[in-house]
Amino acid sequence: MNPVQILTVESLLDELRAHPVNTNQFFVEFRDQFLTTDQLRRFIKQYHFFCFRFVKILEGLLYHTPLEALDMRIELTKTLYSELGSGITDQAHVRYLERFAQSLGIQESDLMQTRPIPEVDQYLKVLDRLFLQSDFLRALGAELAVETTAISEFRFFLPGLQKYSQFTEQDLLFFSMHLQEEAHHSDWLTDAVRKTATSLEDLEHVAIGARETADAWHQFWLGMYEKVFTPANQES
């Protein structure tokens, strides 16, 4: 008989790190296969659609965080400051992603025309609801899941993109810097959870938000797999 696992911050982090989204089919194929330029364009348009909007939802979470949750407000501010280039417009993370898109011949005006696939749209809606309309402990759990699972994609995307001789180190900066950055974001959010969710009941609320987010993030990548690797989806 298995002993009943008591929910702790550590057990929740272990659960998030072991979630199937971290090794999903899209990540593996992206690392191992050579994609056509058209496939890379389809990927980057959807991914940019998400990344560009995500930071704005995170700004909303900061506003929604209760006045007295000072530690959480501080940790979120650090994450946002980093996402927004630590005060330098050209170093905002989304700008690095746009520079990569340019290396594939996609301009900012093209990116603004992207229509999201349903799974990308749905993931943004889940985050919008958890960050802005649920209790802040669920919101904190959602952001913990975002930051804890985010590092996995870069472990696959960076070696995946380094296979192509067409990309310079400069082109791939978005991906290389995130391998370092996301570990910090996850540590900051873990600190926020430890300081803010001080009872088992609090932590259960955090876990609900975290699990829903990790599941929706998994759906996001299953949808991306269909968009990029299924021949029927030729339209970019």
What residues from 101 to 140 belong to the interface with Fe ion (CB under 5 A)? none
Residue 197 or 214 with smaller CB distance to Fe ion: 214
CB of 181 to Fe ion, least distance (A): 6
Residue 45 or 93 with smaller CB distance to Fe ion: 93
Per the CB < 8 A criterion, the answer to whether 75 and 156 are in contact is: no
What residues from 7 to 46 belong to the interface with Fe ion (CB under 5 A)? none
CB of 51 to Fe ion, least distance (A): 7
Residue 42 or 93 with smaller CB distance to Fe ion: 93
Q: Which residue is nearest to Fe ion (CB)?
A: 93
**CA atoms within 13 A of residue 34's CA, in its CB half-sphere:** 4
Distance CA 82, CA 191 (A): 17
Among the residue ranges 14-22, 89-97, 114-122, 186-194, the one whose residues contact Fe ion (CB under 5 A): 89-97
CB of 178 to Fe ion, least distance (A): 6
CB of 37 to Fe ion, least distance (A): 25
CB of 69 to Fe ion, least distance (A): 23
CB of 95 to Fe ion, least distance (A): 11
Q: Which amino acid is at 160?
A: G
Q: Where are the alpha helices (DSSP H) in the chain?
A: 9-17, 25-32, 37-64, 70-83, 93-103, 108-111, 118-132, 136-162, 173-196, 200-229
Among the residue ranges 32-40, 41-49, 90-98, 159-167, the one whose residues contact Fe ion (CB under 5 A): 90-98
Lookup: tokens for 235:
């339209």
Residue 93 or 138 with smaller CB distance to Fe ion: 93
Write b or e for each residue in 41-79: b if 16 or more Cβ atoms lie within 10 A of its Cβ, otherwise e.
bbbbbbbbbbbbbbeebbeebeeebeeebeebbebbebb
Per the CB < 8 A criterion, the answer to whether 49 and 114 are in contact is: yes
Candidate residues 42, 73, 93, 227; the one interacting with Fe ion per rule CB under 5 A: 93
Residue in the block written with tokens 């949808």:
223
Among the residue ranges 57-65, 88-96, 135-143, 222-230, the one whose residues contact Fe ion (CB under 5 A): 88-96
Q: Which residues bind Fe ion (CB under 5 A)?
A: 93
